[in-house]
């Protein structure tokens, strides 16, 4: 009899919103035997505490042992992470007012923070003096602070930010991720690796018994 091969791929982090987590919730699984695949998909990996946010570090060895509990002769090929996080977020009723208020608050902080940063930058590098020197070099006299250079600077600064971040239009200049998205992905990956590392040091990783 030919040995059954199961290919499994699990990402570094999986978010679920129901307490009984089965393999198909967290993994992409392939097996030529469809009946066997259905059984593997429904294997219970972990049961979460209801109505309580939590996350668990789990070893792929736990998953392999779970699959082999069906038949010890099954050959499991891991194409994903060796350790991964399962985060449980119970479903909550949408609160539109709270969401809009939170978005407005965050937007206000970002707006005033960015404005303050630009003002302090202009002060630190003495932008008015720089413009005055440019006027003197080109026009032969110092500017009055309300010329074409100042106007171009005021228009060019926000336009440059919008084009650079490529994030504020449905018709994007490029389809690649924005700089903010790239930095957020790097940050998320660092956080996930740190959580897994801490769980391993503290012996909290869910592994084979």
What confidence tens digit (pLDDT) does each residue in 143-174 have?
666 777 778 888 888 888 777 776 555 555 56
- Which band of pLDDT confidence, cut at 50, 70 and 90, is reported for residue 53? confident
Pairing of strands 5-9, 75-78: parallel
Q: Which residue has the tokens 């009723």?
A: 93
Using DSSP, state whether 190 is helix, strand or coil. Answer: helix
Q: Residue 130: what pLDDT?
A: 79
Selection from 16, 32, 152 nearest residue 87 by Cα: 16
Residue carrying structure tokens 């979460």:
48
Whole-number percent of the chain with pLDDT over 90:
44
Q: What is the pLDDT of residues 98-124, one digit of tens each?
A: 888 999 999 899 889 888 888 888 788
The stretch 77-95 carries a mean pLDDT of 89
Domain with CATH 2.60.480.10 in the chain: 5-88
Correct CATH for 5-88 of 2.60.480.10, 2.60.120.20, 1.10.340.30, 3.30.2350.10:
2.60.480.10
């Amino acid at each position: 009899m030919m040995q059954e091969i199961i290919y499994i791929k699990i990402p570094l982090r999986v978010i679920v919103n129901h307490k009984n987590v089965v393999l198909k919730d967290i993994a992409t699984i392939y097996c030529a035997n469809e009946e066997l695949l259905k059984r593997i998909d429904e294997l219970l990996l972990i049961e979460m505490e209801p109505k309580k946010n939590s996350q668990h570090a789990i070893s792929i060895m736990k998953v392999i042992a779970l699959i082999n509990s069906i038949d010890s002769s099954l050959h499991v090929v891991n194409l994903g992470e060796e350790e991964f996080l399962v985060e449980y977020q119970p479903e909550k009723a949408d609160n539109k007012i709270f969401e809009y208020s939170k978005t407005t608050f965050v937007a206000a902080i970002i707006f005033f923070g960015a404005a303050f940063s630009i003002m302090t930058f202009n002060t630190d590098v003495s932008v008015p003096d720089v413009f005055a020197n440019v006027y003197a070099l080109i026009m032969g006299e110092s500017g009055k602070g309300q010329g074409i250079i100042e106007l171009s600077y005021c228009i060019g600064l926000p336009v440059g930010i919008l084009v650079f971040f490529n994030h504020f239009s449905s018709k994007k200049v490029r389809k690649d991720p924005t700089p903010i998205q790239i930095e957020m992905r790097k940050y998320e990956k660092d956080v996930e690796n740190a959580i897994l590392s801490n769980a391993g040091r503290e012996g909290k990783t869910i592994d084979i018994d």
